[in-house]
Every structure is written in C-alpha cells, then in structure tokens.
Structure 1
Amino acid sequence: MVEKRAVMVVDMQNGVFATPRLQPERCVAQINRLTRVADTVIFIQHAQAGGLEEGSEGFALLPDLWQPDNALYITKTACDAFYRTTLADELAAHDIHAFVVCGCATDYCVDTTIRNGASRGYAITVAEDAHTTANRPAAPAETLIAHHNDVWRDLIVPDNPVYVKPVETILQEWLTN
C-alpha cells in the first residue's frame, strides 16, 4: 500500500508572524510546494488570548499560504498539536499514518508535535527547509533550525526514526511512488 502524501503545517498564522521569523517568504514558498502536490493537508492553528483568538485576523493563516479546498484544520492551545485536540482522530479517520511536518516555530510547536507524533507511532518526515522560528535570547533562529534538524535526525524512537529531508527530496520521492 502506498502511503498518502500528507503534510502537516504548524502555526503559519498572521499573529505568530507578528514576531519576526527567519526567511518567512522562503518558508511559505517551500510549504506551498509541498501542499500543492499533497493528497491531504492539515493546518494546525494555535489559539490563545492576546491576538490569536479563533476567528481573529491574528488567528488566520498567512495570506500567501496556499490552502486546498479539502484541507483539514485543527485548533490547538498548547505547543503540542496532539494535546487535547482532534488531531489523532482526524488522522485515523483519513487513514494517515505518515506525514511531512513543516511550519513555525521550530523550537516550540513544530518540535513538540514531532516528538509526540513519533512517540505515538506516526512515520514523520520533517521538511528541513520548510520550518522557521524567531531569534531567541540563547541562539539565533538559523542556529535553532539547524540544531533541531540535527536533533530530529538522531531522535531515538526505536523502530520509528524521524526523517529530515529537503523539500526537493520529499517531492522527488513522492513523484517516484
């Protein structure tokens, strides 16, 4: 059986990008390359007081992000997209066991969702050049992104490694399957 080409896009929202992020236009362009050929696209959106209230302009996805008509939308209130959400139910309902992860913020919501998803047994591929974050007091965004790509490559989840690949490689693999 060939796995569906599923892409999970984390927190690519207007309010999230009110804080400057590393190369946001490049990140959106890379995500759009994936979502335009995916069978299923799942948008994860963070909701909280202070500009990310559901239905607000801050909660909305970035305007340049391509949203297919059949996209799925999950609202979360924690860094982990699985925490008290319907994400696992939606994945099961759509028979999705493997997916590509991309989005914002590398060191918070993207990382937490990847780790929890891998622990739950999902086959996860990280689009290494389609996630972004902000500069932090401890490290610049570029360092955080490179660091997390390395950590995910070596994440120890027996019998369920996390793969970290460039968008171009993911697209080529999809075309050959």
Structure 2
Amino acid sequence: MGSKVVMVVDMQNGVLATPRFDRAGRCARINQLIAAADQVIFIQHVGPGLELNSEAWQIVPELHQPAHALYVNKTACDGFWQTELAAQLEQQDISSFVICGCATDYCVDTTLKVGASLGYRITVAADAHTTADRTWATAQQLINQHNEVWADLILPGNPVQVRPTAELLAIWQPETVNP
C-alpha cells in the first residue's frame, strides 16, 4: 500500500450525538489506524447544527488528532464536492488511502464511490466505520451490506479493497529482518 494515509469522515460531536453502532470500538480502531498512519485527513461536515468551529462541528474527543493532520470541510455527503480535498491529496502526492468514519450509508459511501471513480485507490477499514439504525435496517446490517457492496464494486482496474483494521495494521507493519 505505499504511503499510509487514513481519511476519517465526519467523526464529529454533532454527528455522533445520534447513537451510532459500536462507537467505542469504532473509535478505538480508528485511533489504531491514526497511530500507524503517515498522514491523517479529517473530513468535517459543515451545515445546520454543525456550524463551523462550533462544539458540534469538532472531532469527537476520543479520537487522537496528530499535529500534522489535514482538515477538509464539506457541505454535502461527498467529501470531494466543492471542497479542497482533491487539491490537498494532489499537493500531498496522495493517490491511495484508507477510509473510515461516519456515516457508513451516507458520507463514507458517497466519498468512497466518488473518490474511487476519480481514480483514487481506496481501502475501507471494514470495522472502523459506523452508522445509526435506520427505519428499514439496523446499523450493523447497513455496515455489513456496505462492506459487501464495496468489495464487489465494479471499477475495472481500480477495485475497492475492504479489510479489517487488524489486517491493515499487519500490512503496514515494517518487515522485521532476522539476523
């Protein structure tokens, strides 16, 4: 996987004010990815109830924010739509990243599909994204469904990878040389 880049979508106080599936576990795994990453990009939604610089707009306190992290504000489900995300990725020479965060079925899904269509090589941290129960499906069902759909997404030459956090961390471990 080249450089180790993690994109954390909408893990904000106001977004997670709604109960989300396995919040503590998801935050713990996102922190593991953040700790192992060379670069972290936080995507933050701005809109009604998530006003810029408000308490609701802030990243949840349980997530570590490295000093060198990048931040991108968005106003739509798509992290690329009318934002500086593509320019930031180009400036940092980033062509692949691991995506995680909230909400699986809205902003994570849209950002992932648009990013993959733009040619970015994207890996989903399968157990590090979350959502809320919806009218017709539980959060856990939605997470499992989206992991399955993403793994089978037809993008010739640029398949989306879906891997558990532990597997990603193992891939990112430097090779140990035996003397």
Give aligned pairs, total: 175
TM-score, with length taken from structure 2: 0.96
Cα offsets for 1:113-160 (capped at 9, x unmatched):
000010000000000000000000010000000000000000001100
> How far off is 1:70 after superposition?
0.0
Provide the C-alpha distance between the structure 1 equivalents of 2:162 and 2:7, rounded to a whole number of angstroms: 14
Provide the C-alpha distance between the structure 1 equivalents of 2:15 and 2:76, rounded to a whole number of angstroms: 14
Cα offsets for 1:12-51 (capped at 9, x unmatched):
00000111100101110000000011000000000001x2
Q: Which residue is 1:35 aligned to?
A: 34
Listed as ranges, the matches of 1:12-23 within 5 Å are 12-23=11-22
Q: Which residue is 2:79 aligned to?
A: 81
1:173 maps onto 2:175 in alignment: no
SS of the residue 1:101 aligns to = strand
What is the aligned-residue identity percentage?
A: 57
SS of the residue 1:90 aligns to = helix
Cα offsets for 1:48-70 (capped at 9, x unmatched):
01x20001000000001000000
Provide the C-alpha distance between the structure 1 equivalents of 2:62 and 2:133, rounded to a whole number of angstroms: 23
Q: Which residue is 2:112 aligned to?
A: 114
* Residue identity opposite 2:122 in structure 1: I
1:130 maps onto 2:128 in alignment: yes
Provide the C-alpha distance between the structure 2 equivalents of 1:68 and 1:132, rounded to a whole number of angstroms: 22
For structure 2, the 5+ residue unaligned runs are none
* Residue identity opposite 2:120 in structure 1: Y
TM-score, with length taken from structure 1: 0.97
Preserved CA contact (<8 Å) 1:52 1:59: yes
* Residue identity opposite 2:123 in structure 1: T
Cα offsets for 1:52-110 (capped at 9, x unmatched):
00010000000010000000000000000000000000000000000000000000000
Q: Which residue is 1:45 aligned to?
A: 44
Provide the C-alpha distance between the structure 2 equivalents of 1:8 and 1:24, rounded to a whole number of angstroms: 17
Counterpart pick for 1:67 among 60, 65, 68: 65
**Which of 93-102 and 167-176 deviates more?**
167-176
* Residue identity opposite 1:16 in structure 2: V
Provide the C-alpha distance between the structure 1 equivalents of 2:122 and 2:159, rounded to a whole number of angstroms: 8
Preserved CA contact (<8 Å) 1:3 1:96: no
* Residue identity opposite 1:130 in structure 2: A
* Residue identity opposite 1:159 in structure 2: G
Q: Which residue is 1:5 aligned to?
A: 4
SS of the residue 1:13 aligns to = coil
